[in-house]
Amino acid sequence: MKKALEDLIVLDLGQIYNGPYCSLMLAFQGAKVIKVEPLNGENLRVRRKGDCHELLMLNSNKLGISLDLKSPEGKAVFLELVKKADVLVENFSLGAMDRLGLGYDVLNKINPQLIYATGKGYGLDGPYADRPAMDLTIQAMGGVMATTGFADKPPVKAGPALCDFLGGIHLFGGITTALYQREKTGKGQLVEVSMHDAIYPTLASALGAYYSQGGKVSQRTGNQHSGMATAPYNVYPTEDGYIAILCVADRQWQSLLRVMKKEELLEDERFQTNIDRSANTYLVDEIVTSWTSGKKKMDIADMLIKANVPHAPVQSIDEVAEDPHLKQRGMIREIVHPKEGKIKVPGSPIRLSDSVLEDVIPAPMIGQHTDQVLQELLGFNEEKLNHLRDNNIIRSIETMKQ
Amino acid sequence: MKKALEDLIVLDLGQIYNGPYCSLMLAFQGAKVIKVEPLNGENLRVRRKGDCHELLMLNSNKLGISLDLKSPEGKAVFLELVKKADVLVENFSLGAMDRLGLGYDVLNKINPQLIYATGKGYGLDGPYADRPAMDLTIQAMGGVMATTGFADKPPVKAGPALCDFLGGIHLFGGITTALYQREKTGKGQLVEVSMHDAIYPTLASALGAYYSQGGKVSQRTGNQHSGMATAPYNVYPTEDGYIAILCVADRQWQSLLRVMKKEELLEDERFQTNIDRSANTYLVDEIVTSWTSGKKKMDIADMLIKANVPHAPVQSIDEVAEDPHLKQRGMIREIVHPKEGKIKVPGSPIRLSDSVLEDVIPAPMIGQHTDQVLQELLGFNEEKLNHLRDNNIIRSIETMKQ
């Protein structure tokens, strides 16, 4: 079965999380993604000794080449690749590609069909454009921290690198949109995503509360609803951890009351509708807490599954890493890496019925496919490869030859 | 200038955040998105009195029709629309569309070109598939809470509704990928995204730390790096709030030392490399804190801009809502809603150079375009519309006639 993006060639200059996640999604849909790294590898290679697990998670199903883009000869090789490519992905800091002489204007002239995708912290323009930006700074600037944590504690970041990943997946969506448009126009274009832009809509609940209160800033709500517009909606203590419980429909609240054996509250006017309950959030939370405390979280979960009340145990990282649901769905996959042995890497959250993801292939080592790619795509012979290698323009993998 | 997705018709059954954000992105790229709501409107209409701001944020540039999908006649009207549509988006609970007789198998027979996009909490299969799922429960189950907050406080959710939005934007990427594939095959297909799947890769840092420590679960790291693999990397107290500061390169640390007038530490072997600094995180944090405390956050920001050290002030929601950068980039837009007056809504984080988003049109009121859409797409006459309206099969807007 042919995959959605088969026959497309992607030059992936991505580093750390943002760009690499974008191109991972392209690879999973069948594109031939060529990860282009400097001779010492991308920045994520060196986070810990050896290839860190994060890199292995986000670079499956890619070919890896290693090339010095700062040398004139390396640049010339890269420009030959650009002529063959459909898509380029990069998430360097602002202006880095221009300084290399590889900006959109240059590459678009060489290959007008190229879709040039740029993932940035603050985007290509605007007053903050040239500030250094990483997940942490965007969480601070973008309102994630302001809305995360408890009112009596400092603002706190979200644990996941959500700015990087939101940026990366928006970039993927922009690329596929541009690929569709290219089918109509025959032309490539510039696709731009700013992580800072991508965060703004996700604050819908907090912004909704802000505007509905005429511009009053609410305190951080901990695990309560960011707009304080749903109750119960919280994380409740149990004997062995925590459990999240919420009721978005009145029937769920009635069902919860029955499970808690609090039928006497069914007619209580303080709790009839969600608006009533939200006005009495702290009382609602007290009632639920008095029931969850002293019970085991999985016992509570079993009761709530039967009662059809939305809930979930708060899972720890080791529970997530071994989650039976994620495994059964192929979202957590065990593969064998030639150096690292058995590792667990993600499958694809985007499932197309006609482009099923069957095999996940380990991330390339630095320069693993340099020779192969330059031979196949550009027809370089052994002599040319030796010349480039001997002059430190390219790096081919040594470990594979052992 | 023609937009990327112009001429495409999208039936948007989305509700709350996940589906509506996906179809908002389709609308911003030029698709004709028809928001199909029950006679009383989708669930988000009733969160607060009047149309809540969240709904207005996520339903710009859509046409709104109101139709009773539970009635045989309403279903028949919907099936006529399906014949004309390119894409259907839905994020109901598992099985809801099948119970309506509008599942993928049925609609694919009626229109084999249709791309049927389904956003789910836990996906279409697997052991958790039929559990109720919302942003909060996925944050609990998926590891967001486990990795968010301080070690000495309970796990806490991320403030933004990141599961809803990550799910929605992956779904958008899946749809545009399927649109590209349809250009090659002429066929539609099923696109599925589970929020729970979409969260897993975003835990890269925490999972990296977990695997690099041989399966040891770390404590929550507050504002420190989730993998404790970068230092400085934290949120530091100032006289008037907090500021995030991090150094990913040694030269940034050296630059920060100079700004802090701590040149005597330039040669200190405890802080030479990122690996050294990470091993002395608490000491690094103490040094930076002693410098930030007692200064104003914007004064510190000014110094760090000049020194090229990655940082950002922790902005409150009102600061985010009036952010000059987001405004200048057209990410925050002020538009005039016929009932609500001036409101602020998002632009598009996905920027295509050939499909610039010029106008943002307010979200439809319930049934605002029912008559228009049924006339234009299905050729219904006044008599037919009156019949459907009188029998409560459709709802047309009344307020617009006043």
Position B205 scores a pLDDT of 92
What residue ranges do the domains of chain A occupy? 9-200+322-401, 233-314
Position B341 scores a pLDDT of 94
Listing DSSP states for A318-349 in one string gives HHHHT-HHHHHTTSEEEEEETTTEEEEEE--S
Q: Does A353 touch chain B (CB under 8 A)?
A: yes
**For A190-330, where are the E strands, in sequence order?**
190-194, 233-238, 241-246, 311-313
Q: Residue A400 pLDDT > 60, yes or no? A: no
Residues of chain A numbered 80-99 and touching chain B (CB < 8 Å): none
Q: What is the dihedral of CA B3, B8, B13, B16, to 10 degrees?
A: -10
CATH number of B9-200+322-401: 3.40.50.10540
Pick from A166, A316, A351: CB nearest B193: A351
Q: Residue B212 pLDDT > 90, yes or no? A: no
Between CA B329 and CA B279 the distance in angstroms is 40
Q: Do A194 and B127 touch (CB under 8 A)?
A: no
Helix (H) or strand (E) holding B28: helix B18-28
Position A47 scores a pLDDT of 67
Evaluate whether A311 touches A319 at the Cβ level (below 8 Å).
Answer: no
Evaluate whether B11 touches B82 at the Cβ level (below 8 Å).
Answer: yes
Between CA B274 and CA B287 the distance in angstroms is 15
Pick from A160, A172, A315: CB nearest B173: A172
Place A397 in a pLDDT band, splitting at 50, 70 and 90.
confident
Q: Does B217 touch chain A (CB under 8 A)?
A: yes
Q: Do B170 and A199 touch (CB under 8 A)?
A: no
User: Which long-range contacts does A132-135 make (Cβ < 8 Å, 24+ apart)?
Assistant: A132/A93, A132/B252, A132/B308, A132/B309, A132/B310, A132/B311, A133/A93, A133/A195, A133/A196, A133/B310, A133/B312, A134/A164, A134/B246, A134/B248, A134/B310, A135/A17, A135/A161, A135/A162, A135/A163, A135/A164, A135/A195
**Matching residue, tokens 């670079």:** A59
What digits encode the pLDDT tens for the residues A270-312? 999 999 999 999 999 999 999 999 999 999 999 999 999 999 9
Catalytic residue annotation of B? 225
Q: Does B100 touch chain A (CB under 8 A)?
A: no
Place A402 in a pLDDT band, splitting at 50, 70 and 90.
very low
Q: Does A158 touch chain B (CB under 8 A)?
A: yes
Between CA B110 and CA B121 the distance in angstroms is 27
Between CA B44 and CA B24 the distance in angstroms is 15
Between CA A291 and CA A251 the distance in angstroms is 19
Between CA A32 and CA B43 the distance in angstroms is 42
Please tell me the pTM assigned to this model.
0.97
Pick from B140, B147, B248: CB nearest A160: B147
Place B280 in a pLDDT band, splitting at 50, 70 and 90.
very high
**Matching residue, tokens 């509708």:** A273
Q: Residue B1 pLDDT > 70, yes or no? A: no
B211 contacts in chain A (CB < 8 Å): 53, 321, 343-344
Pick from B2, B193, B222: CB nearest A349: B193
Residues of chain B numbered 376-395 and touching chain A (CB < 8 Å): none
> CA of B386 to nearest chain A CA: how many angstroms apart?
33
What digits encode the pLDDT tens for the residues B81-94? 999 999 999 999 99
Distance of CA A202 to the CA centre of its chain: 14
Work out the average pLDDT over B105-133.
97
Catalytic-labelled residue, pool A225, A311, A369, A387? A225
Evaluate the omega torsion of the peptide bond into residue B232 and state whether it is cis, within 30 degrees of 0. Answer: yes
Q: Which of B199, B127, B213, B329 is nearest to A329 (CA)?
A: B127
Evaluate whether A273 touches A248 at the Cβ level (below 8 Å).
Answer: no
Position A45 scores a pLDDT of 87
Residues written for chain B = 402
Evaluate whether B14 touches B51 at the Cβ level (below 8 Å).
Answer: no
Average pLDDT of the residues of chain A: 95
CA dist B380 → A57, B375, B376, B385, B390 (Å):
53, 5, 8, 7, 15
**Matching residue, tokens 């095999």:** A359
Q: Which of B77, B107, B9 is nearest to B374 (CA)?
A: B77
Which residues neighbour B345 within 8 Å (Cβ) at sequence distance 6 or greater? Answer: B56, B57, B60, B332, B333, B335, B360, B362, B363
Instruction: Determine the 3-state secondary structure of A13 from DSSP.
Output: coil
The ipTM assigned to this model is 0.97
Q: Residue B49 pLDDT > 90, yes or no? A: no
Evaluate whether B253 touches B271 at the Cβ level (below 8 Å).
Answer: yes
What digits encode the pLDDT tens for the residues A75-132? 999 999 999 999 999 999 999 999 999 999 999 999 999 999 999 999 999 999 999 9
Between CA A20 and CA A276 the distance in angstroms is 46
Place B226 in a pLDDT band, splitting at 50, 70 and 90.
confident
Please indicate whether the domains covering B9-200+322-401 and B233-314 agree at the CATH topology level. no
Between CA B299 and CA B238 the distance in angstroms is 10
Q: Residue B399 pLDDT > 70, yes or no? A: no
Between CA A100 and CA A23 the distance in angstroms is 21
Which residues neighbour B334 within 8 Å (Cβ) at sequence distance 6 or greater? Answer: B342, B343, B344
State whether the Cα torsion A301-A302-A303-A309 is positive or negative.
Answer: positive
Position A49 scores a pLDDT of 65
Domain B233-314 has CATH 3.10.450.630: no
Between CA B75 and CA B68 the distance in angstroms is 7
Q: Does B243 touch chain A (CB under 8 A)?
A: yes
Side chain identity, residue B160: P
Work out the average pLDDT over B46-52.
70
Helix (H) or strand (E) holding A378: helix A370-378
Q: What is the dihedral of CA A279, A281, A286, A291, to 10 degrees?
A: 110
CA dist A303 → A233, A258, A307, B121, B140 (Å):
17, 11, 6, 20, 17
> CA of B392 to nearest chain A CA: how many angstroms apart?
24
Position A213 scores a pLDDT of 87
Q: Does B271 touch chain A (CB under 8 A)?
A: no
Side chain identity, residue A223: N
Which is it for strands A62-67 and A32-37: parallel, antiparallel or unpaired? parallel
A150 contacts in chain B (CB < 8 Å): 149, 153, 156
Work out the average pLDDT over B316-336.
97
Which residues neighbour B178 within 8 Å (Cβ) at sequence distance 6 or greater? Answer: A4, A352, A354, B115, B117, B188, B189, B191
Evaluate whether B350 touches A191 at the Cβ level (below 8 Å).
Answer: yes
DSSP label at residue A218:
P
Work out the average pLDDT over B380-395.
97
Q: Do A210 and B321 touch (CB under 8 A)?
A: yes
* Strand order through the sheet with A190-194: A394-395, A62-67, A32-37, A9-12, A87-90, A115-120, A190-194, B350-352
Work out the average pLDDT over B45-72.
90
Q: Do A325 and B126 touch (CB under 8 A)?
A: yes
Position A97 scores a pLDDT of 98
> CA of A79 to nearest chain B CA: how many angstroms apart?
22
Range scoring the smallest mean pLDDT among A164-178, A255-269, B200-214: B200-214
Listing DSSP states for B47-62 in one string gives SSSSS-HHHHHH-TTE
Helix (H) or strand (E) holding A375: helix A370-378
Between CA A321 and CA B103 the distance in angstroms is 33
Average pLDDT of the residues of chain B: 95
Listing DSSP states for A71-138 in one string gives SHHHHHHHHHHHHH-SEEEE-PSTTHHHHTT--HHHHHHH-TT-EEEEEESS-SSSTTTTS---HHHH
Q: Residue B25 pLDDT > 60, yes or no? A: yes
Listing DSSP states for B208-268 in one string gives HHHHHTTSPPPPP-TTS-TTS-SSSEEEEEETTEEEEEE-SSHHHHHHHHHHTT-GGGTT-
Q: Do B174 and A199 touch (CB under 8 A)?
A: no
Q: Does A121 touch chain B (CB under 8 A)?
A: no
Angle (CA) B10-B12-B13 rounded to 5° is 150
Listing DSSP states for B306-347 in one string gives HHT--EEE---HHHHHT-HHHHHTTSEEEEEETTTEEEEEE-
Q: Which of A197, A17, A86 is nearest to B169 (CA)?
A: A197
Work out the average pLDDT over A244-256.
95
Dihedral class, residue A308 (left if φ above 0, else alpha if ψ from -120 to 50, else beta): left
Position B402 scores a pLDDT of 38
Position B106 scores a pLDDT of 98
Residue A217: CB atoms within 10 A of its CB come to 14
Q: Does A112 touch chain B (CB under 8 A)?
A: no
Between CA B360 and CA B348 the distance in angstroms is 10
Between CA B158 and CA A139 the distance in angstroms is 11
Instruction: Determine the 3-state secondary structure of B104 from DSSP.
Output: helix
Side chain identity, residue B13: L
**Least CA distance to B218: which residue of chain A?**
A317
> CA of A380 to nearest chain B CA: how many angstroms apart?
32
> CA of A299 to nearest chain B CA: how many angstroms apart?
15
Q: Do A166 and B170 touch (CB under 8 A)?
A: no
Side chain identity, residue B76: A
Place B45 in a pLDDT band, splitting at 50, 70 and 90.
confident
Position A48 scores a pLDDT of 65
Q: Which of A313, A310, A315 is nearest to A259 (CA)?
A: A310
Place B401 in a pLDDT band, splitting at 50, 70 and 90.
very low
Side chain identity, residue A370: T
Q: Does A298 touch chain B (CB under 8 A)?
A: no
What digits encode the pLDDT tens for the residues A185-237? 999 999 999 999 999 999 999 999 999 888 888 889 999 987 788 999 999 99
A347 contacts in chain B (CB < 8 Å): 197
A121 contacts in chain B (CB < 8 Å): none
